[in-house]
Amino acid sequence: MRARHARRGEGVIPRSWKLQPMELNRALDLLLAEASPVPAERAPVREATGRVAAEDVAARAPVPHFSRAAMDGYVCHDDDLRDASAERPVLLRVSGAVRMGGPPGPGPARGEAWSITTGGPMPARGDRVLPIEAVRPQGAAIRVDHAPAGRRHIAEPGEDIRSGALLVASGTVITPETAAALAAAGVQAVAVRRRLRVGVVATGTELEEAGPDAAVLAPGRVINSNSIALCGALAGLGCDVLYRGVVPDDPDALRAALAGALARDDVVVSTGGVSVGRYDAVHRTWLDLGARRIVGRVDLKPGGPFFAARLDDRWALGLSGTPVACFAAYHLLGRPAVLRLAGRRDAVRPVRMVTLTTPVPRAADRQRALWGKVRESADGEPEIAILDGSRAGNYAAILDANALALLAPGTPPLPAASRVPALLLDRPETANTLAVPRSEPAPLVIGVVGESGSGKTAVLSGVLRRLRAWGITAAAVKHAAHGFAADRPGSDSARLWDAGPGLVAVVGPEETMLRIDGAIGGPDRAVRLVTDLCRSARGAPPDCVFLEGFADPDRPAVQVGAAKPGAGAREVWASVPAVAGLDPGGLAGEVERVAGIVRARLGRTP
């Protein structure tokens, strides 16, 4: 970690170098466009596991390259078995055997069988392998009571790998299974990228190397923990990592350390010293050494302090000294750059829309990256809990993170059930651009409650018309406790429904009706259903969803008339008299008032 307090001393760096923050997508595009893979070298297949292939490699020979038995059993002739039955069993004399590793031999004559094990080469004679369980030993012969059918249990040449089949693509990591397939298919050596040499430097006069007891540190001293995580992460990518220690905030010491790293390292990754403080000198030092800046400060929180530069074929990557910012910038920018330099074809992990289980109470004034835990809900849909560190601390909270929720500038506060894009940190890279859709705020959900006959539907229909006139999209869900008539008896759609498919959709030129068999399972699932349908049909969820007649005390409501007997307490945004006691003008006024309350709650201005 890096302390945030100011330090006094010599060697203050002027602040004229500061740049306007760059958009995250633009920064990543620049990094990947500039990064060229390290040179290739030949490696024996036995030593290629974990290396990045520098060329496409195809099978040089089929696997197997000979016909072989697919099961333990007996080689025999189909024609000898064609008429076998329980009443007329066939006896075959066992006259030989196929030995593993030896020549296949001539094979059985007609009326004979040879024993064979799985993988044994098929002899010159014989066109079927009878599995052991399909025969009965009888002295020096085997007895067959049924004519065999189906597979002959012979693996033909190329059944596992065909000659010329692509086994590894350039830019992909050679797995143990791939290395085995290459060897089996006659490939002895493969072109791979040289291991990327990465040096890791921690900057900061306040840093101490990890010791047995952090509690004995003097005030103002900080354990150097970022470099431990980065060294482990980079080694996990297959890099040749060298930890170069802690460098104090001294221009001469920093210059010497960074210049010295250039003798060996393809990439020098540093932590700390890239923000706007008086002693943040990493970027200035690299520029003084002749490096060409590619990316400076990034419009990202956390992780905005960042620096990337090239010095001929050497690279400098500077990350923040604050852990949550350091690791966010590493996953979003540093890791993709390192992967591209290492020769990987794909450098960016997938982004997926996930549902918030926890609210995000603050609007995003810049690109935000929020640490989160993604898992599947009970319905099998991905959901994310934002890890805010309120209990364990900011650093401890991210230890369970497997995603970064990415909120674009201008994203409003988001309630739970909103959908946000998340970079999945536990998935392999699949792309080379960071395509981040905008978040989808969950619709405002409002109940419409009251006794039967109070006029809930009359009020709600008026409110819906008013909201539509204001450009506010809405959906309505009505609770029909005693069932309902969904269609006209005898219509084509009713006849389809009566046939029992469980779901019927009637699609017209201007509207669509969907009828589903069975209960949805409560208001929450009803809201999710109509939200997903709106998203699919219109490309976006509704701004609000009204639940008429549901007993749902957890949501605010519009009360029409008297409360239903036995109804629990709930937040009431507006109370409307029973419609029967209102004249048309009075009803119109109440509708306007309720619609105005909903519009205000949505943050829409008149």
Distances (CA, A) of 31 to 289, 331, 578: 20, 13, 65
Least confident range of 234-243, 356-365, 400-409, 487-496: 487-496
Terminal C-alpha separation, the chain: 49
What is the rounded average pLDDT of the residues 381-409? 85
Contact yes or no for 230/223 (Cβ under 8 A): no
CA angle 519, 493, 531 (to 5 degrees): 45
Distances (CA, A) of 488 to 503, 519, 600: 16, 21, 40
Whether residue 9 has pLDDT greater than 70? no
What is the rounded average pLDDT of the residues 507-511? 89
Least confident range of 239-243, 273-277, 524-528: 273-277
For the purposes of burial, counting CB atoms within 10 Å of the CB of 208, is it exposed (0-12), middle (13-18) or buried (19 or more)? middle
- Domains in the chain: ranges and CATH: 24-36+195-341 (3.40.980.10), 40-63+159-193 (3.90.105.10), 68-155 (2.170.190.11), 351-422 (2.40.340.10), 444-601 (3.40.50.300)
Cα–Cα dist 495/543, whole Å? 35
> Which has more confidence, 522 or 383?
383
Would you state the pLDDT for residue 554? 80
Would you state the pLDDT for residue 8? 33
* Other beta carbons less than 10 A from residue 99's beta carbon: 14
What is the rounded average pLDDT of the residues 559-580? 86
Secondary structure (DSSP) of 328-370: HHIIIIIHHHHHHHTT-S--B--EEEEEESS-B-S--SSEEEE
What is the rounded average pLDDT of the residues 161-166? 96
Q: Which residues contact 118 (CB under 8 A, 6 or more apart)?
A: 69, 70, 71, 72
User: What digits encode the pLDDT tens for the residues 328-373?
Assistant: 999 999 999 999 999 999 999 999 999 999 999 999 999 999 999 9
Whether residue 2 has pLDDT greater than 50? no
What is the rounded average pLDDT of the residues 66-91? 94
Whether residue 390 has pLDDT greater than 80? no
> Which has more confidence, 328 or 388?
328
- pTM of the predicted protein model: 0.84
DSSP label of 553: T
DSSP label of 579: G
Q: Find tokens 């005898």 and name the residue.
A: 490
For the purposes of burial, counting CB atoms within 10 Å of the CB of 441, is it exposed (0-12), middle (13-18) or buried (19 or more)? buried
Would you state the pLDDT for residue 1? 44
pLDDT range class, residue 14, cuts 50, 70, 90: very low
Cα–Cα dist 127/129, whole Å? 7
* Other beta carbons less than 10 A from residue 129's beta carbon: 29
Would you state the pLDDT for residue 389? 67
Would you state the pLDDT for residue 393? 61
CA angle 227, 231, 233 (to 5 degrees): 115
Average pLDDT of the residues of the chain:
91
Whether residue 16 has pLDDT greater than 90? no
pLDDT range class, residue 5, cuts 50, 70, 90: very low
User: What digits encode the pLDDT tens for the residues 200-226?
Assistant: 999 999 988 887 676 678 888 888 999
Would you state the pLDDT for residue 391? 58
User: What digits encode the pLDDT tens for the residues 405-451?
Assistant: 999 999 999 999 999 999 999 999 999 999 999 999 999 999 999 99
Would you state the pLDDT for residue 398? 83
> Which has more confidence, 5 or 441?
441
Cα–Cα dist 101/117, whole Å? 11
Report helix, strand or coil for 597: helix
Q: Find tokens 């992460």 and name the residue.
A: 233
Contact yes or no for 98/104 (Cβ under 8 A): yes
Q: Is 234 left (phi over 0), alpha (psi -120 to 50) or beta?
A: alpha
Whether residue 98 has pLDDT greater than 80? yes
